[in-house]
Chain A
């Protein structure tokens, strides 16, 4: 029942959501390789109850938290 209309999206696995984030938000780059996500964000605010930390650039390296990956996020 796969209509040709949707083959563009399923075949391409191409959601534009990442790019929407790029345009609107502060996501500079993203990468996914070897089950590791790497994000670089600009102008980020880390907000805790007591504290507020502003940062120009932050790099997030994240691995899978399920059975396949057991590493921690830095």
Chain B
């Protein structure tokens, strides 16, 4: 843990704002960062007081601030500092609450979550953040998705030859269930997004799977229902099923892309149905390396947005060319999500590999958008 750069940075940011430093509150499980954490907590309190926001712990990750410190806990701290030297000096836009320099553990409410391993921490912080924030009765989909994904992950482990993409994921639902149990008692402060209660809805999930056998596309197109095959235009069979309403691209190598599902479980179920269709046609299809490649979500903040203002202050992340496209394209760094923001207040979020990234990105952008509300 490179603690040397930390004291340099933290006082520089905090010094102009904080009048005094009370003794740091006791923290558990973060051995080498207790001092910095205390300073950061104080900064959070100050910022929250300035913004007049109810929760003192506002986990806002505006990417305007160096994010190499943020990555600190997610990966090797040394490489984080070495690989992102250019992000050190930022515009220092502290008028909005920029907390992306804060490590995950501090800004999340999970102060008692020990830094067990970097990988698990990253997964925990990413996966716990939406769970701690989302009102549980209204987000059954998440719960169902998580529960069934844990089931499906355990099923997928029965397949030999599954790659690493499947194996770490069973860890996640288990840690999710554990973290849910540990989080629920300790969320006295509701995060900001729960005040607005807006939850992005998943609209599209793209996933891939390897059927692990060569396929005769013409045979599939001729014998399967609802299939298209035009090799001159595209070298795959385009097949659709009604439930879940999805489209699959099936290639002669045996690889398949499944699009159109509204949840992770639906995507997996649909992929399995396509695999069964192929199997029934006589091919020895298997179900290897199912992986969700992209998730798209959308929501409505319900107020008009000044896109011009947003592109001026966040020009490193935004591109807005109304003559080309009416939406502002915001490329958030952490998490790595692309958001399309429209004047109407509608927001499209894409590029996620996991549902939590969509939620986290929206929680990051919502306070920024509120700052650019029209009139």
Contact = CB atoms under 8 A, between A and B. Distances in A.
Counting contact residues on chain B (CB < 8 A from A), the size range is 20 to 34
Nearest to A12: B259
A29 B226 CA distance: 5
A33 B222 contact: yes
A33 B221 CA distance: 6
| From A12, A22, A29, residue with most partner B Cβ within 10 Å | A12
A17 B228 CA distance: 13
B245 A8 contact: no
A8 B340 CA distance: 15
A19 B204 CA distance: 15
Contacts of A18: 226, 240
A31 B350 CA distance: 32
Contacts of B294: 8
B329 interface: yes
A1 to B, nearest CB: 8
Nearest to B234: A13
A5 B249 contact: no
A38 to B, nearest CB: 9
A4 B338 contact: yes
B229 A29 contact: no
Interface in B329-353: 329, 338, 340, 348, 350-351
Interface of B: 204, 206, 218, 221-222, 225-230, 234, 238, 240, 242, 245, 247, 249, 257, 259-260, 294, 296, 324, 329, 338, 340, 348, 350-351
